[in-house]
Structure 1
Amino acid sequence: MTASMITAGFVLFHVLGVLAAMHAVMHTRTPQGAIGWALGLIFLPYVTLLPYLYLGSNRFLGYLTSQQSKLSSRAPDGSGNTPSIDPDCARYAAISAIQGRPFRSGHQLKLLIDGDAAFEVMLTAMAEAKHCLLIQFFIFHDDQLGRRVQQLLLERTAAGVAVCVLFDGVGSHDLPKHYVETLRAGGVAIHPFATHRWRNRFQLNFRNHRKIVVVDGARAFVGGLNVGDEYLGLKPPLAPWRDTHMELRGPAVSDLQQLFARDWQWITGTPPPLLPSPPCAGEASALIVASGPADAQETCSLFFTAAIHAARERLWLTTPYFVPDHSVLSALRLAVARGVDVRVLIPSRPDHRTVFLASTLHAYEALGAGIRMFRYQPGFTHQKVLLIDNDTAAVGSMNLDSRSFRLNFEVSALIVNQHFAGEVEAMLKNDFAKARIVDKSEYLDAPYLRRVAMHVARLFDPLL
């Protein structure tokens, strides 16, 4: 009987493996991935079947369908009008078309460099909220900064402000229950963005990596920072922590409200309070770029590809994880061929060793294409910033890796404005001045086993 049960179990695993392999062939986005999954599922289903349930899907099911009938196309703004695309934004028309929303004109912007400056402005703005606070971060920690944010939210709720908070259930996996329960007891509406519900119950590989704060529908913040002491540079060995955030005032705030509302609707089933975004006398044009695994196409990768193709003189970008896919790397190669000054700033210290090893190999191969690579020296650089020519910059949560391209919900603000681009240029010049140039010896002089480890790490690019 026991032998028969074992035999039946093996047969069942192989039958399920064949069925899963058929699913992989039909739905995996790349031929290489389809072949890898199919072979593993057919020949070693008892090893690969469970990982495939968690890691095999690149589609986040039901997210858009569940909301389209319940949410308007965008949050209200003060004018009720949709401004036409500014002529200077024309070369980014493809990005606007993919997003299904136009550039908006009339924004006031503030570049927020590093955690102390960014949180000083954000916390001050939150403390001034009179009606509504929408807050979303990938990570909340129950530490000094986390408790400071917690106390502020409780004070605002006590003052009659509607406070809605989202955090990623995996990114904030070590957030203690009492932190959330204290906020709920004080009237704060707070929820984890749990991707594994209903049809997505096995899809634990997805993350909501967005960082959004909206104050009374009038001021919004996006960037790379999360709520934790390490983002203030208080936790070695990665300290000092280099990051960038930004503040927006103007009509694009309504787009960020709508983006938050979609995530909130998915979790709670009800819309959050949305307020009109008042008119603003600024001059900058902005497009909110959102991406995620619920998209019909790989929006984040397409965003980087289109933005890189738009560069004519300069393309500077900084990312903590340099794991470009084929289309983005090809776009960088073509930019070099056009004579564009292409520079990429990456960390000199790892926060995730597998990603760091893969990034080192990608950096070595990028050097062969004429891409200039730099490693930031003072501490860990976590910022996600893009500078194009002398008039365009992007600040947000998008990393240059497959996880951001395909598995994470992300957001970035694409800005067309010479003054703001000049501020970003000055910031990045200071960063590059604190970096060392990467040369091929970093790879060639590495011990053989370390080079092998780099190539093994690159095999996991689709998951990094």
Structure 2
Amino acid sequence: MVSILLTLTHILGLFAAVDAIMKSRTSQGAIAWILLLVLVPYFSLPFYWIFGRSKFQGYVNTRRIRAKDIKDNTQTFRAVSPDVIADFHDQPEKLVLERLADFPYTHSNSIRLLVNGEATFDATYEMISEASEYVLFQTYIFREDGVGKRFAELLKRKAQEGVAIYFLYDEIGSYQLTRKFLHELREANINVRPFHTTRGKGNRFQLNFRNHRKIVVVDGKAATVGGLNFGDEYLGLSKRFGPWRDTHIRIDGPAVQAVQWSFLEDWYWASGDNINVNWDEEPAQDGDEIALVIPMGPADTIETCGLFFVHAINSAQKRIWIASPYFVPDKQVICALQLAALRGCDVRIMLPERPDHLLVYLSSFHFISETAIADRITFYRYQPGFLHQKVILIDHEMAAVGTANLDNRSFRLNFEIMVAIVSEKFAHSVEAMLLEDFKQCREVDPQEIQKRSFWFQLAVSGSRLMSPIQ
């Protein structure tokens, strides 16, 4: 019996190795998987089933075959809303992002910067309180604590008022949610769904793809997007992390439609249901910002997130400032940062001092050292608490806020969303915010790893080898 099991495992390992040859994203990755699957299939097969995929094929098929009516909304939005579409036909660097997003830039938006948890939760609570038709609520992590219960009670109250509530959560990020809590939401007439990464026969071991988006949409007129999940720790109440530094935005105006579309596609995958929503593009009162919503994820035909970062960096002429909790870039992003520095751009990257994921934190030491060019790229470590914001500032007229980190998981494995805002006024507010953050940072010596112990350097090198799945 043992010999039969061993033989069967080796056969499965060979089939998996062939699959790796056909589907691995890079030749290095294919070679690594082939060696592991052929030599030690007993250990490597489970890891390959979980981590080996580069595309979320089930979602791809759903998008292609079953969600045509949702995709048609994109075409309708383009066709019937010329009055709110911003025309950049003579600016190729902006058109690239529009084609990447598969949505148009829209003007007449009001974008409000929300700094940290209190401002974000208050703005989101106020927005939901004003809902009259529906609320689309999506998050990666939802806690059953003070913040979570506060929003759960609000959603229940709005449902009792007759507002349709759709609550979508990632079951990996929100693994601590209890059945009792979810049952209470459903009993209150709230439509609750996990994102359900493993749905479908071919996806049962598919735990590596996560839905990392944090979206709230109210009546198709207002939305919030950004880095904050829902829990007490995001108010800075965690003993482990202390103060929590994060950034969100509130959007009023036509750009909300694209945020809404992103939610609808995720909801369709999770539930198989379409939702009747408001598709009227209403300009915001006193709104003068141009915005582009860019959903991105492992079901895209191209690597939207990685291309977004590369293009944003390549388009910078004067400065590129990036704040991210993680720094595990691929070679293309490293080269883009180095070229920006050589062009004379002010390149700054802000990272946290404290780690929340040890492997990613260790890997960052290697990539900082690899990216740095003699005083041309400046790295900072944020000192108080944990820095979790995902913000990019490009020159003096564009900034982006959203959920995507500067790492492989966001580039290729997570469903993310970024909002790029073309506005000198908004870029100035982001600049002021980041300048205050830089005051609370220490400047990093790119070679500081050389001053660490041999064992620390070994841990960094070992962590770097696992960067494709971090």
The TM-score, its normalising length taken from structure 2, stands at: 0.95
Secondary structure at 1:71 match in 2: helix
Secondary structure at 2:73 match in 1: coil
Matches within 5 A, 1:25-424: 25-66=21-62, 67-74=66-73, 80-82=80-82, 83-86=85-88, 90-198=92-200, 199-275=202-278, 276-281=280-285, 282-368=287-373, 370-424=376-430
For residues 19 and 211 of structure 1, the distance between their equivalents in structure 2, rounded to whole angstroms, comes to 38
What amino acid is the match of 2:24? T
- CA drift of 1:84 comes to 4.4
1:456 aligns with 2:452: no
Q: Residue in 2 aligned with 1:10?
A: 6
What amino acid is the match of 1:145? V
For residues 256 and 64 of structure 1, the distance between their equivalents in structure 2, rounded to whole angstroms, comes to 19
Equivalent residues, number: 460
After superposition, give the CA deviation of every residue in 1:196-225 in whole Å (9 maximum; x if it has no partner).
Answer: 011222211110000111011100110000
For residues 78 and 131 of structure 2, the distance between their equivalents in structure 1, rounded to whole angstroms, comes to 18
- CA drift of 1:78 comes to 12
- Contact conserved, 1:92 with 1:306, CA < 8 A, in 2? no
- CA drift of 1:366 comes to 2.2
Q: Residue in 2 aligned with 1:429?
A: 435
In structure 1, runs of 5+ residues without a counterpart are: none
Distance 1:78 1:126, change over 3 A: farther
Q: Residue in 1 aligned with 2:452?
A: 446
Distance 1:79 1:232, change over 3 A: farther
- Contact conserved, 2:379 with 2:446, CA < 8 A, in 1? no
Deviates more, 1:232-241 or 1:69-78: 69-78
- Contact conserved, 2:88 with 2:95, CA < 8 A, in 1? no
What amino acid is the match of 2:379? M
Secondary structure at 1:346 match in 2: strand
- Contact conserved, 1:74 with 1:255, CA < 8 A, in 2? no
- CA drift of 1:394 comes to 0.3
Identical amino acids, percent of aligned pairs? 43
For residues 259 and 68 of structure 1, the distance between their equivalents in structure 2, rounded to whole angstroms, comes to 12
Distance 1:86 1:106, change over 3 A: farther
What amino acid is the match of 1:258? W
- Contact conserved, 2:100 with 2:294, CA < 8 A, in 1? no
After superposition, give the CA deviation of every residue in 1:245-287 in whole Å (9 maximum; x if it has no partner).
Answer: 0011111111111110000001111112311332224211111
- Contact conserved, 1:89 with 1:103, CA < 8 A, in 2? no
What amino acid is the match of 2:258? D
What amino acid is the match of 2:72? S
What amino acid is the match of 2:12? L
- CA drift of 1:88 comes to 8.5
- Contact conserved, 1:289 with 1:411, CA < 8 A, in 2? yes
Distance 1:7 1:64, change over 3 A: closer
For residues 215 and 124 of structure 1, the distance between their equivalents in structure 2, rounded to whole angstroms, comes to 11
The TM-score, its normalising length taken from structure 1, stands at: 0.96
- Contact conserved, 1:224 with 1:396, CA < 8 A, in 2? yes
The Cα RMSD (Å) is: 1.6
What amino acid is the match of 1:364? S
In structure 2, runs of 5+ residues without a counterpart are: none
- Contact conserved, 1:74 with 1:254, CA < 8 A, in 2? no
